[in-house]
Amino acid sequence: MLATLFDWVALVIRWTHVIAGIAWIGSSFYFIALDAGLKANPRLDPRVKGEAWQVHGGGFYQIQKFSVAPEFMPEHLTWFKWEAYSTWIFGFALLVLTYYLHPSVYLIDPQVMKIDVADAVPGAAASLLGGWFIYDLLCRSWIGQETKRLAIAGFILLMAATFAYTHIFSGRGAFIQVGALVGTIMVGNVLVIIIPNQRKTVAALLAGQAPDPIWGEQAKQRSVHNNYLTLPVVFTMLSNHYAFTFSNPKTSWLVLGCIFIASFLVRHWFNTLHTGAKPDWRLWPAAAVPVVGAIVLSLLGQASFTIADNAAPVQFAEVQQIVDQRCHVCHATKPQFPGFAEAPKGIMFDTPTEIQKLAPQIMAQAVKTHTMPLGNVTQITDTERAALGAWIVAGAKLN
Ligand code: HEC
């Protein structure tokens, strides 16, 4: 019962995390598009940089953006910050509940690196904060003074982090760490730069002083970074359930690299479209190239196994023994593995027919990729994986 309650807590946290994330990303898309689409109007107050007309939900909206700030403090001012904060808070809680509380299952893979549980969790958590500080320094340094230079340096930093994570943690663990790092950088931008700078502007207005335009410019720079990071961060969270993306550390970091490039191109297409400029359609085929690259890389990353011509056929009895020994602790009606209330993803290997029916999935998870057993906690050997593969290739027969 306790395990089910625990799963409920995790589910409610995940639900909240996703909803907050939708609100955050939605407002990021909306405001970047709004900003890009503003049109100057000489009849308006000279301090107004531009205006936009929009129709939604049966009404017309007229929105104006002030170059720095209005001269007065508006009576009702809406702040956008809790979408970001709550996405991070619930996301981090989920990271702790799933990964940091079960590091040997989800975070560590001895085949990638043998690390101690006591080192893995603090290291993983600290790297999120460390990554934010390095990124923030980069933006504040001379590199950050020029957009192109900063974009290149930021990309190199992202790739370095991805390489490091995929060579230290399990595939799943590495991808979630990349996502958490990018998410932490994004929320750091809101917490440390965007909101404090907006507060400074408001304080200056209240004191009857002219706000420094640099505050707004800094906030805008970070807000644009966040906008470009939205697509990759969502990919890292979703791909976590697709073993072919992360299972091989030799290729997985490059798979993510391709996805980063494709995401930036697609975001760029939308951001130019919103300015009203003629969109550059070449960006779509340009984005398709790295996506195809990611697919090819993931295929190259799958383990190959060959069956010797003179090898004796693998009998089902042998397969059942392997599955009983290496998989059944988790994949059973009543799993014995601590912390599992029910069979993960409903996959159960209680009967021969179930094993036979799931042969293609076994092939994908335990033979072509080494995703299962998670963290290889049950210590399956390569010979056993090959035996499972040979049995499946020969038709997955029960006798
Ligand atoms: C430590 C517990 C554990 C062991 C041992 C284990 N699994 Fe899993 N398995 C899981 C969990 C947890 C998931 C769900 C992963 C997810 O949420 O994506 C899973 C998912 C799966 C899936 C579904 C994957 C998908 O995305 O559809 C298959 C198939 C699978 N396991 C096969 C195996 C096989 C075959 C073995 C033995 C060689 C094995 N598992 C051993 C915990 C385990």
Ligand 1 pocket test: which of 327, 340, 388 has the largest number of ligand atoms within 8 Å of its C-beta?
Answer: 327
Nearest CA to 371 among 324, 322, 301?
301
Tens of pLDDT, residues 370-384: 889 998 899 999 999
Nearest CA to 303 among 369, 383, 394?
369
Q: How far apart are CA 353 and CA 357, in angstroms?
A: 6
Please indicate whether residue 241, judged by its CB atom, sits closer than 6 Å to ligand 1.
yes
Q: Which two tokens stand for residue 139?
A: 């933006």
Residue 69 CA to ligand 1 center (angstroms) comes to 55
Task: Tell me how far the alpha carbon of residue 145 is from its chain's centroid.
Answer: 28
Ligand 1 pocket test: which of 372, 378, 384, 391 has the largest number of ligand atoms within 8 Å of its C-beta?
Answer: 372
Q: Which atom of ligand 1 is nearest to the CA of 242?
A: 26
The confidence score (pLDDT) of residue 39 equals 93
The confidence score (pLDDT) of residue 212 equals 93
The confidence score (pLDDT) of residue 143 equals 94
Residue in the block written with tokens 């011509």? 309
The confidence score (pLDDT) of residue 128 equals 98
Nearest CA to 223 among 188, 261, 175, 266?
188
Give yes or no for residue 285 having a pLDDT over 90: yes
The confidence score (pLDDT) of residue 68 equals 81
Nearest CA to 33 among 310, 289, 268?
268
Percentage of the chain beyond pLDDT 90 is: 76
Residue 82 CA to ligand 1 center (angstroms) comes to 36
Give yes or no for residue 200 having a pLDDT over 90: yes
Ligand 1 pocket test: which of 241, 328, 347 has the largest number of ligand atoms within 8 Å of its C-beta?
Answer: 347
Tens of pLDDT, residues 214-268: 999 999 999 999 999 999 999 999 998 898 999 889 999 999 999 999 999 999 9
Nearest CA to ligand 1 atom 31: 372
Q: How far apart are CA 252 and CA 240, in angstroms?
A: 11
* Letter string b/e over residues 275-290, b meaning 16 or more CB atoms within 10 A of that residue's CB: eeeebeeebeebbeeb
Percentage of the chain beyond pLDDT 70 is: 99
pLDDT: which is higher, 168 or 272: 168
The confidence score (pLDDT) of residue 99 equals 95
Please indicate whether residue 381, judged by its CB atom, sits closer than 6 Å to ligand 1.
no
Tens of pLDDT, residues 142-195: 999 998 999 999 999 999 999 999 999 999 999 999 999 999 999 999 999 999
The confidence score (pLDDT) of residue 360 equals 93
The confidence score (pLDDT) of residue 95 equals 97
Nearest CA to 176 among 250, 117, 265, 102?
102
Give yes or no for residue 82 having a pLDDT over 90: yes
Please indicate whether residue 343, judged by its CB atom, sits closer than 6 Å to ligand 1.
no
Over residues 285-297, the mean pLDDT reads: 97
175 in Cβ contact with 236 (< 8 Å): yes
Tens of pLDDT, residues 107-146: 999 889 999 989 999 999 999 999 999 999 999 999 999 9
The confidence score (pLDDT) of residue 198 equals 92
Over residues 81-85, the mean pLDDT reads: 96
The confidence score (pLDDT) of residue 7 equals 85
Task: Share the mean pLDDT of the chain.
Answer: 93
Give yes or no for residue 310 having a pLDDT over 80: no
The confidence score (pLDDT) of residue 29 equals 92
Please indicate whether residue 348, judged by its CB atom, sits closer than 6 Å to ligand 1.
no
Over residues 341-347, the mean pLDDT reads: 89
